Amino acid sequence: MYKQMPLLIALLATLMMTACTSIPTQLQGEYADVSPARVEPATFGTPVRWGGIIIDAKNETNRTCFEVLSRELDRYMRPKVEDITAGRFIACKNGFFDPEVFAKGREVTLVANITGIEEHKIDEFNYRYPLLEVNDLVLWEERQDVLIYRDFYDPYWYPYAWGSPYFGYYPYYRGVGGMGYGRSGYAVTRQTLPGPARLEPKEK
């Protein structure tokens, strides 16, 4: 059983990393190749598919407006993890969206129409935000880091090493006391890519 543990951990991590294997239905389709940095009056009314990181969410009388730091999208239309951005934008959708759920730092992808440009201050800088009227959006589950162990065959290896959960030196773990139990291995960190967050109440 112990020998199978690393294989089970790796299999679980692989399943979690590949949980999002298709584009969510509400994000499918063809959209104009217009980035937030290229919005001008001639692009008003254009349907776009943008995504990024939520900076802020404010509930107004009948709608919620999200300030988003844009990111390029991957093949599943999820924002990429990178420090490259085409700028910020403000996206508004009818209804109430709890800011504790749509919180700062969460990833979101949306389909919307460009409606205008609005100027707001970021510190002392006057920033021009593209404005969007959202048709649909996807809030993504938070990413998780998973440690995958490879080539561990002995029950006395990490995380079952004698006396310490950190036997050997990360990311390479060595044999117990030089007695040659089992076989050494290594650990690598992989990031899971879970799919869209479930926002509806669960059925009882």
Mean pLDDT, 10 residues at a time, over the chain (204 residues)? 48 48 90 95 97 97 97 95 95 96 96 97 96 97 73 50 44 43 58 71 46
Report DSSP state, residue 202: P
- Match 């300030």 to its residue by tokens: 67
CATH code at 31-139 = 2.40.50.140
Three-class SS string for 128-142?
EEEEEEEEEEEEECC
Report how far apart, in Å, the C-alpha atoms of 29 and of each of 23, 75, 181 are.
10, 13, 55
Q: What was the pLDDT predicted at 173?
A: 43
Kindly list the domain boundaries of the chain, sorted by start residue: 2-12+144-191, 31-139
Phi, psi of 73 (to 5 degrees): -105, 145
Give this prediction's pTM: 0.69
Q: What was the pLDDT predicted at 44?
A: 97
- Match 């707001």 to its residue by tokens: 120
Phi, psi of 103 (to 5 degrees): -90, 165
